[in-house]
A and B are shown apart, each in its own frame.
Chain A
Amino acid sequence: DAGVIQSPRHEVTEMGQEVTLRCKPISGHNSLFWYRQTMMRGLELLIYFNNNVPIDDSGMPEDRFSAKMPNASFSTLKIQPSEPRDSAVYFCASSLVGGRLETQYFGPGTRLLVL
């Protein structure tokens, strides 16, 4: 299996621009997580989907952030407009909820720099 795939791996943009991060979960997994990692705040859960439905988006910072999961094999995290404080590493993870061990498998992350 290819594992969780994220794109782009690196993104540099200017403040005010729209940023779209993409994720392909592991085939057969039914849950998807978006995390943000910064030195100051560590690893934060932004949103969690189960069977393509957002279950918990309480970690989404503000209205500038939105996430979608149109089907079981694709999800996006969009920031519009982006701000310098959004600079971070964004991880997507997937798991099989309902299995014996609901381990989360992480993608390599997208390193976002907003200038």
Chain B
Amino acid sequence: GEDVEQSLFLSVREGDSSVINCTYTDSSSTYLYWYKQEPGAGLQLLTYIFSNMDMKQDQRLTVLLNKKDKHLSLRIADTQTGDSAIYFCAASRRDSNYQLIWGAGTKLIIKP
């Protein structure tokens, strides 16, 4: 069935770049999303990429999409302590753009 996979943890030093990876199975997914969940809070849309794009940059965030390999990554430049959170990758389903397939989330741990 349709699936989105992410590693559960990533540890980086403050000031370094963080790269969070995600793979998905549904090649017909139109939109791919990154959501951020801070402790005790709901999920917040961080960024998204349309499936016909290879890259999207937004300030410290860079999203790369390799559609052939069905691989999505989120790069956070100059990682700060405020970036500590769980990052969820989500892909729209083939039969509906409004129902998403969610990854398990990657917990980003920042080391001083």
Assess A42 versus B33: contact at CB under 8 Å? Given A91-B43, A108-B41, A108-B42.
Answer: no
Check if A75 is an interface residue, CB within 8 A of chain B. no
Check if B19 is an interface residue, CB within 8 A of chain A. no
Check if A107 is an interface residue, CB within 8 A of chain B. yes
What is the size, in residues, of chain B's interface with A at 8 Å between Cβ atoms? 18
Contacting pair A43 B88 (CB below 8 A): yes
Tell me the chain B residues, 91-110 only, with Cβ under 8 Å from chain A: 92, 97-100, 102, 104-105
Q: How would you classify the secondary structure of chain B's contact residues: helix, strand, loop or mixed?
A: strand
Q: Which residues of B contact A56 (CB under 8 A)?
A: 99
Assess A106 versus B105: contact at CB under 8 Å? Given A45-B99, A56-B99, A101-B48.
Answer: no
Tell me the chain A residues, 25-59 only, with Cβ under 8 Å from chain B: 31, 42-43, 45, 48, 50, 56
Task: Knowing that A48-B99, A106-B43, A109-B41 touch, tell me 9 more A-B residue pairs with CB under 8 angstroms.
Answer: A42-B104, A42-B105, A45-B99, A48-B98, A50-B98, A102-B31, A102-B98, A104-B98, A107-B42
**A interface, CB within 8 angstroms of B:** 4, 31, 42-43, 45, 48, 50, 56, 91, 93, 95, 97, 101-109
